[in-house]
Chain A
Amino acid sequence: MSAMTRKGYLDRLLTAYTRVAVLSDKNGCTVYRLRHNTKGQDLVLRSFSQPIAAYEILRDVACDALPLIYDTVTLDDGQIVLEEFIDGVTVAEIMETGKYRYRGAKAVLTAVCEALTVLHQRGLVHRDVKPENVMIDKSGRVVLIDFNASRQVSDAAKDTLIMGTVGYASPEQLGITQSDARTDIYAAGILLNTMLTGKHPSEQLAGGRAGRIVKKCTQLTPIDRYQTAALLAAAL
C-alpha cells in the first residue's frame, strides 16, 4: 500500500518543485501553486481530506474549457490532485474593472457551457459555477475550474448537504429537489446576468435577449430551464 500521507507526498514533491503560492486553504482543501525547479512550469496541487470523485473522472479528459487533471493520488489521509495551472485571471477579477458586453459574456458562457456539457455527460454536476471559478488565460482560453463542490448525479431523493455559493445556488441545491445538470444551468444564468449587470437577477435583470435567457435559466422548477448546457449555448 501507499503508506504515505499527503504531507509526505508533498514534501517529496517539493524536492523537485518550489512552492510559489497557497492559492486557497479552506474546507479541508489546500491548493498550492508549485513551480518545477528545472522546467519552470507551474502546476496546481490540490490536497483534500476527502477524495472528490470529479477529479478522478476528469483525469481522462482533455477539454479546452476544463483544466487538465494530470493525476489523482489517493493517500492514507486523503487525496492529492495535480492539475494544470491556468495562467490568467478570474471573471470575478475582470468584473472589478467593469461589466461585460453581451458578446464578451456570450463567449465566456459558451465556453462554460462546453465545460458543463463535458461534466454532465460524465454524470457530474459542478454545483459552484460563479465568476470566481471561471478563468481566462492570456490566450483568451476560458476555463471552468474548482470541482470541489461537484457531485455525481445519483438516485437519492434530494441533496443531503448544502453545497455551493449563496446567490448562485439553485433552489434544489437548497433542498427542493435533487440537484442535477440543470442546477448548473441555473448558476450559469446567474453568471450571465452578473457579467452583464454586475448584479443578481433578483436585483437587476439583464435587458433584451440576455434577460430572457437568464430568466429561463433561473426558473425555480428545473424542467422550465434549458435542459442541457448545449441548449443554453445554442440559445446564446
Chain B
Amino acid sequence: MNNCPHCGEVLQEGAHFCPYCMTSLDDKTVIPTRIPKHKWRLLAATAALLFALFALGTVLLLTRGDDPTVPADAPITTTGSQAIGITGGTTTFSSIESGGNTATKSERGSTPTSTGGTDTATTSKKSGSTSSKTSSTTTTTTTTAAKGDSAQTNTVQSGNPSSDTETTTTTAATAVTYTYVIATQETAYPPGKAPYSFTPSDYVVITGVSGVATNGIYEVPKTIGDQTVIAIMPSAFAGVSDHVKTVILPTSVRTIWSNAFSGCYNLTDLYFSAKAIGIYEDAFPAVAQRIGTLTFHSPYDSRNFDFYYYRNIAGDYGAQWAQWNG
C-alpha cells in the first residue's frame, strides 16, 4: 500500500493514478494525432508492401509443391485434411466424404469387435505421428478411435439398446439412435485441452447416428446411461446426412472432430450449449460446397464463447458462411 502524494489517500500498490483526487501519478507519452504524411514514408511503405508481396509470391511458389505434406506440429486430425480446403477443391472433398462413409459403415455394419483389435496399435501410432496422406488419415483416425475403444470395452453394440430407451430423441419419424464408444484422452478433447482430472471411463463419444428425426432436428443427448457424451467423432452424422437439418449439442460436448458432419448438405443450424468447444478442420465439409449458410447458435455471446477451432472448419473461406446468432 502507498499513499497519494497529493491527497494522501491510500492507493493500491504501484498505482499510476489517484482516483480520489483524479491526479495522474506518472507521465504519459503524448502521441500527436496527425499521422505525418511525408512522401518518403509513403515510398518506404510502398517499398515494404512490394517486398511483402514479393515475399508472399515466393512463399506461395515454395509451398505449392509442399502442399500435400503437413506441418510436423499439426495434431492428429488436423493433419489429415490440410491440403483439402485450399487446393483440393470439390473432388477431394467428396473423396474424403466417401472415405468417411465407408468408415462408418464398417463400424456399424459388421461387429465392432471383429473389425477392431487387429491393427489398432499400428493405426493409432500412425495417426499420432505426422502424416503425409490427406484423406486416408482422417479415415484412419475414425477407425482407430472406434476400434481401439470397442476392443477395450465392447460398448458399441451393447450400448445401442440402452441408448434407445434412455437417452435418444425418439420422434414420430423413426427412432433416433446414437452409437457410441467409451472416450479416450485422444477422442474426448483436442490435444492439450483435456483437464488433469479427466477420467475417460466416465465419458462416451458419439460415433454414429441412425434414424430419421422429425423436421431433421437431432438433439444429441447429454448422457447415455450414466456416462456423459463429450465428443462427436468423424462421420458420426454421415449415416443420417440426408436428414440432418438442425443439430442441438448438449453442454457436455466439447469437441467436434473432422468430417463429423460429412455429407450433411442440409445442415443449416447448429446449436451449441457448451461454453467452450473445439471444432476441427472440415467438420462440416458438405457445407463448404453449397450456397447458403450454417448458423451457429450459442447462448453465449461470440466474444465470450470459447470457440476453439483447428484450421478451417468448413474448408476454404469458412468466414463466408459461418455466422453467429447469439
A43 and B29 in contact, given A175-B313, A223-B56, A227-B45 (Cβ under 8 angstroms): no
Query: B304 contacts A27, CB within 8 Å?
Result: yes
Distance A61 CA – B35 CA, assembled complex (angstroms)? 16
How far is the CB of B311 from the nearest CB of chain A, in Å?
Answer: 7
Distance A73 CA – B19 CA, assembled complex (angstroms)? 11
Tally chain B residues at the interface, Cβ within 8 Å.
45
Distance A146 CA – B123 CA, assembled complex (angstroms)? 49
Distance A163 CA – B304 CA, assembled complex (angstroms)? 8
A16 and B28 in contact, given A9-B12, A162-B302, A227-B49 (Cβ under 8 angstroms): no
Q: Which residue of chain A is the closest to B21 with respect to CB atoms?
A: A39
Distance A171 CA – B305 CA, assembled complex (angstroms)? 18
Query: B309 contacts A71, CB within 8 Å?
Result: no
The interface bits of chain A over 116-134 (1 if a CB of B lies within 8 angstroms of the residue's CB, else 0) are 0110000000001000000
How far is the CB of B19 from the nearest CB of chain A, in Å?
Answer: 6
How far is the CB of B4 from the nearest CB of chain A, in Å?
Answer: 12
Query: B305 contacts A162, CB within 8 Å?
Result: yes
Distance A152 CA – B33 CA, assembled complex (angstroms)? 23
The interface residues of chain A lying within 8 Å CB-to-CB of B307 are 161-162
The interface bits of chain B over 300-323 (1 if a CB of A lies within 8 angstroms of the residue's CB, else 0) are 011111111101110001110011
Query: Which residue of B35, B56, B303 contacts A27 across the interface (Cβ within 8 Å)?
Result: B303
The interface bits of chain A over 149-175 (1 if a CB of B lies within 8 angstroms of the residue's CB, else 0) are 100000001101111111001110111
Q: Which residue of chain A is the closest to B27 with respect to CB atoms?
A: A60
The interface residues of chain A lying within 8 Å CB-to-CB of B305 are 162
Query: Which residue of A71, A169, A175, A220 contacts B15 across the interface (Cβ within 8 Å)?
Result: A71
| B230-257 at interface with A (beta carbon < 8 Å) | none
A16 and B19 in contact, given A63-B33, A166-B323, A175-B312 (Cβ under 8 angstroms): yes
Query: B28 contacts A41, CB within 8 Å?
Result: no
Q: Which residue of chain B is the closest to A1 with respect to CB atoms?
A: B13
Query: A148 contacts B303, CB within 8 Å?
Result: yes
Q: Which residue of chain B is the closest to A73 with respect to CB atoms?
A: B12
Query: B324 contacts A166, CB within 8 Å?
Result: yes
Q: Which residue of chain B is the closest to A64 with respect to CB atoms?
A: B33
Query: A166 contacts B302, CB within 8 Å?
Result: yes
Let me know if B37 is at the binding interface, CB within 8 A: yes
Query: A62 contacts B324, CB within 8 Å?
Result: no
Counted as pairs of residues, one from A and one from B, with CB atoms less than 8 Å apart, the total is 122
Let me know if B17 is at the binding interface, CB within 8 A: yes
Query: Which residue of B35, B304, B319 contacts A230 across the interface (Cβ within 8 Å)?
Result: B35
Let me know if A208 is at the binding interface, CB within 8 A: no
Query: Which residue of A1, A169, A176 contacts B312 across the interface (Cβ within 8 Å)?
Result: A176
The interface residues of chain B lying within 8 Å CB-to-CB of A86 are none
A164 and B16 in contact, given A227-B52, A230-B45 (Cβ under 8 angstroms): no
Query: B42 contacts A234, CB within 8 Å?
Result: yes
The interface residues of chain B lying within 8 Å CB-to-CB of A206 are none
Let me know if A91 is at the binding interface, CB within 8 A: no
Distance A73 CA – B309 CA, assembled complex (angstroms)? 32
Let me know if A109 is at the binding interface, CB within 8 A: no
Query: A162 contacts B52, CB within 8 Å?
Result: no
A63 and B31 in contact, given A161-B308, A234-B37 (Cβ under 8 angstroms): yes
A223 and B29 in contact, given A71-B17, A117-B35 (Cβ under 8 angstroms): no
How far is the CB of A228 from the nearest CB of chain B, in Å?
Answer: 6
The interface bits of chain B over 19-35 (1 if a CB of A lies within 8 angstroms of the residue's CB, else 0) are 11010101011110111
Query: A231 contacts B45, CB within 8 Å?
Result: yes
Let me know if B194 is at the binding interface, CB within 8 A: no
The interface bits of chain A over 38-78 (1 if a CB of B lies within 8 angstroms of the residue's CB, else 0) are 01010100000000000000011111110010111101000
Let me know if B48 is at the binding interface, CB within 8 A: yes
Query: B29 contacts A60, CB within 8 Å?
Result: yes
The interface residues of chain B lying within 8 Å CB-to-CB of A230 are 35, 41, 45
Query: B12 contacts A61, CB within 8 Å?
Result: no
| A78-123 at interface with B (beta carbon < 8 Å) | 82, 110-111, 113-114, 117-118
Closest 3 CB pairs of A and B: A71-B17, A27-B304, A70-B17
B residues whose Cβ falls under 8 Å from a Cβ of A: 12-13, 15-17, 19-20, 22, 24, 26, 28-31, 33-35, 37, 41-42, 45, 48-49, 52-53, 56, 73, 301-309, 311-313, 317-319, 322-324
What are 25 sample pairs from A and B whose C-beta atoms fall under 8 A apart?
A2-B13, A9-B12, A17-B19, A27-B301, A36-B22, A60-B28, A61-B31, A62-B30, A63-B30, A71-B15, A82-B19, A117-B35, A161-B306, A162-B307, A163-B303, A166-B302, A166-B324, A173-B319, A174-B319, A175-B311, A175-B312, A228-B45, A230-B35, A231-B45, A234-B37
Query: Besides A64-B33, A73-B15, A234-B42, 4 other CB < 8 A contacts?
Result: A149-B303, A161-B308, A170-B319, A234-B37
